[in-house]
Structure 1
Amino acid sequence: MLIVSLSGCGRSPPLMIAGGRVFVLPCIQKIQRITLNTLTLNVKSDKVYTRHGVPISVTGIAQVKIQGQNKEMLAAACQMFMGKSEGEVSQIALETLEGHQRAIIAHLTVEEIYQDRKKFSEQVFKVASSDLVNMGIGVVSYTLKDVHDDQVQRDARIGEAQFKRDAVMKEAHAMQEKVSAQYKNEIEMAKAQRDYELKKAAYDVEVNTKKAESEMAYQLQVAKTKQRIEEEKMQVQVVERTQQITLQEQEITRREKELEAKVRKPAEAERYRIEKLAEAERLQLIMEAEAEAESIRMKGEAEAFALEAKGRAEAEQMAKKAEAFHEYKEGAMVDMLLEKLPLMAEEISKPLCAAQKVTMVSSGGSDVGAAKLTGEVLDIMTRLPSA
């Protein structure tokens, strides 16, 4: 609701409050109200002549509202509708819209209104909005609800009846033509059947002849085909046999490679390893033999050097002893003999010590066994100095 407070003195402009509250001094200020609700209008125009003079009836639905947000439009609405009821405001807006709707219908044809209702609604909305805005009323929406044309419907019913009449007449004429055409077709079919039978008799002879030739040609072709199939089978067998031989050769090659990989190669590797081991052992033996020979040679050289040194020492000793013997003569020789007797006894008895068994043959003496053996050794020792 819109509340307007008017000053009692009339000097200040009226106070317009849209949907609010105000404090009013009684007897000094006066309050008047107008509605701000949205109004739905049923805009109906009966029997309006279009541009070609065809009368039609049009019904539209419009929603209008006093614009309380715009102060200028609100002021214009207050001037136009202050003190009027909601029904009076609706009637004024309805008459305005109905007048614009009639004016637009008069400038269009029936076909344009039927075919493009959206264009008609847009024109009514545009023209009515520009006029109602001066009253402070805004058109929220406008929709064309119904278009009714009595003359068109009457013409449509007449046209429908004429169409049905023409349809019946055309159907009867078509039936007549159908029967006539059917008879003609039957006559033509009979003639065609006669010609067919005559020609068929002539064709049967030719067909049978061609059929016999065809059967003979077929049998010949079957024989040729069988022969070709047999040849192709032989070719297939040859190819299969060739493939089998190829597969066998590949299998033999594979087995040879497998044998070479699993047997020959390991055997060759083992033989190579054994040869290398034998070569290494041979080289080791050769080196050991060379080392042993070198050791023996060096040992022999050392022993020879030692023997040579020993011989030189003994020779020098013997020379010195000879000089001593020459000086001492028999006393020195006796002393030397006594010194060497134990060594002589050891050397004489050494073979006997190595013997496991000694057999003594007695010549008739009184000594036997060990005494006999001892006597023999002593006898040898007594004979050596004389020698």
Structure 2
Amino acid sequence: MLFSTFGIMGIIVVPVLILLFAAIFLSKQYKRCPSNQILVIYGSVGTGQSAKCIHGGGSFVIPLLQDYTYLSLEPLTIEIDLRSALSKKNIRVNVPSTFTVGISTTSNIMTNAAERLLGLSTGEISNQAQDIILGQMRLVIATLAIEEINQDREKFLDLVNKNVNLELNKIGLDVINVNIRDITDESGYIEAIGKKAAAEAINKAKVEVAEQDKDGAIGEANANKEKEVQVANQVAESEAGQKEAERNKRIRIAKYEAEGVTGEAAALREQEVAQAKQRAITEQGKKEALKEQRVFVAIQEAESVKGENESKANIAEYDATLKEKQADAAKRGEVALA
């Protein structure tokens, strides 16, 4: 009974333990890539591929069939002490410079790095890059005249950057920065060019100073002349203004006096006309009042006569009616008496 119980537990526990160990093993085979490194998986990674490069994220490494390692993305500073590089006009120049390079994160260039730099130390990588940079800088300098190298530094730096970067990409590196510290030559040609440019600049400055002094003197004389002319014009304009102001004052006074006399006469005339109009209106009003009074009196008299006539007619009609009634009453009395 006890043996069977242990047997059942063993049947359950063993598969669980196997699954647990398998899960732990598989989880250890999943490799994550830090941001400052490239994960390189090599072995059986696919037809036609020597390695699988991953920057960021992670990937599962198949046991026995695959293995992995990391490539650092930390920049490498390489000092280039280029001496006696032959330029286009056969003048040898010295171009000491500093290059900062690093492994590229571009897909195909990362593969180049995995193929050519995997397992190399930092010093070995720097030596390879240094040889490539020296060769390409000599090539670029050979295509340029000394004047182009010295005067158009931007063009020279751009050509160096392009050529060096193109060759470094072949081993998986990118140019991060280029710093040309100085450009000199063994014959002193660049120094002579600098002295010539300095002398020309000094002479040009002297000429410009003389021109400025001359222009200043002429400008000062012109300014004084313009000042005198402007002062004279201002004096003349001031006197003319005073005369014009006096004349305008006299004209305004005469105008105001004439307007006063005219206004006074017009006011008197308007007053007389207004008084005449008022008198005419008053007379007309009186006549109208008298006419209305006579008409009213005539109307009242006619109304009175009419009333008297109507009263008389009423009295006569009443007398006739009375007499008629009296005769009728007398007649009825006689009849009654008979």
TM-score range, shorter chain: 0.5 to 0.7
Is the Cα–Cα contact under 8 Å of residues 84 and 93 in structure 2 kept in the other structure?
yes
- 1:156-171 aligned at under 5 Å gives the runs 156=192
Which residue number in structure 1 is paired with residue 258 of structure 2? Answer: 249
Q: Tell me what 1:281 maps to.
A: 289
Classify the secondary structure of the residue corresponding to 1:61.
Answer: strand
101-110 vs 295-304, greater mean Cα deviation: 295-304
- Which residue is equivalent to 2:124? 88
Q: What secondary structure, in the 3-state scheme, does the structure 2 residue paired with 1:146 have?
A: coil
Q: Which position in structure 2 is the counterpart of 1:144? A: 180
Deviation at 1:246, TM superposition (A): 4.0
Over 3 Å counting, the alpha-carbon distance change for 1:266 and 1:124 in structure 2 is same
Alignment correspondent of 2:90: 53
Please give the alpha-carbon distance, in whole angstroms, between the structure 2 residues aligned to 1:76 and 1:284. 135
Change (3 A) 1:53 1:241: closer
CA–CA separation in structure 2 for the residues paired with 1:254 and 1:9: 120
Q: Deviations over 1:217-265 (max 9, x none)?
A: xxxxxxxxxxxxxxxx9xx89x97776444322112233445566x557
Residue matched to 2:235 = none
1:107 equivalenced with 2:143 (yes/no): yes
Bigger RCO (CA 8 Å, 6+ sep): 2
% same residue? 22
What residue identity is the alignment partner of 1:278? K
Supply the distance in 2 between the matched residues of 1:95 and 1:67 (Cα, whole angstroms).
18
1:359-370 mapped onto 2 (5 Å cutoff): none
Residue 45 of structure 1 and its aligned partner are, at CA, apart by 1.0
Aligned equivalents of 2:272, 2:181: Cα separation in 1: 106
Matches within 5 A, 1:1-387: 1-7=37-43, 14-19=51-56, 30-70=67-107, 72-152=108-188, 156=192, 244-258=253-267, 263=271, 267=275, 270-271=278-279, 274-298=282-306
Name the structure with the higher strand share.
2
Preserved contact between residue 45 and residue 51 of structure 2 (Cα < 8 Å) = no
Greater C-alpha radius of gyration:
1
SS in 2 for 1:124: helix
Q: 1: CA distance between counterparts of 2:68 and 2:252?
A: 119
For structure 2, list consecutive stretches of 5 or more residues without a partner in the other structure: 1-36, 200-242, 324-338
Unaligned runs of 5+ in 1: 164-232, 317-387
Greater shift in the superposed pair: 142-151 or 268-277: 268-277
Shift in Å at residue 128 of structure 1?
1.6
CA deviations over 1:36-71 (Å, ceiling 9, x no partner): 22333333311222222222211233332222341x
> What is the CA deviation profile of residues 120-176 of structure 1, one whole-angstrom value per residue up to 9, with x for unaligned ones?
11111121222222222222343433212343279749x89xx9xxxxxxxxxxxxx
Query: Counterparts of 1:248 and 1:125 in 2: how far apart (Å)?
Result: 97
Q: Distance in 2 between matches of 1:242 and 1:146?
A: 87
> Alpha-carbon deviation of 1:296?
4.9
- The one-letter code of the counterpart of 2:101 is V
Q: Distance in 1 between matches of 2:166 and 2:82?
A: 20
Deviations 1:262-321 (A, max 9, x none): x557646644553454244223212122213323544675688799x69x99xx9xxxxx
CA 1:277–1:156 in 2, change beyond 3 Å: closer, same or farther? same
**Aligned-residue offset at 1:95:** 1.8
The answer to whether the 8 Å contact 1:2/1:20 transfers is no
Could you state the TM-score of these two structures normalised by the residue count of structure 1? 0.49
In 1, Cα distance between equivalents of 2:190 and 2:137: 24
RMSD: 4.3
Give the conservation status (yes or no) of the 8 Å contact 1:3–1:20.
no
Q: Determine the C-alpha separation between the residues in 2 that align with 1:93 and 1:25.
A: 34
Q: Distance in 2 between matches of 1:298 and 1:154?
A: 148
User: Do the aligned partners of 2:50 and 2:115 also contact (CA within 8 Å) in 1?
Assistant: no
* Separation in structure 2 between the aligned mates of residue 241 and residue 156 of structure 1, nearest angstrom: 85
How far has the Cα of 1:105 moved from its partner? Answer: 1.2
Gap change, CA 1:302 and 1:24, over 3 Å in 2: closer
Q: SS where residue 182 of structure 2 aligns?
A: strand
CA gap of 1:134–1:265, structure 2 versus 1, over 3 A, is farther
**Counterpart position of 2:6:** none
Q: Report the number of matched residues.
A: 235
Shift in Å, 1:119: 0.6
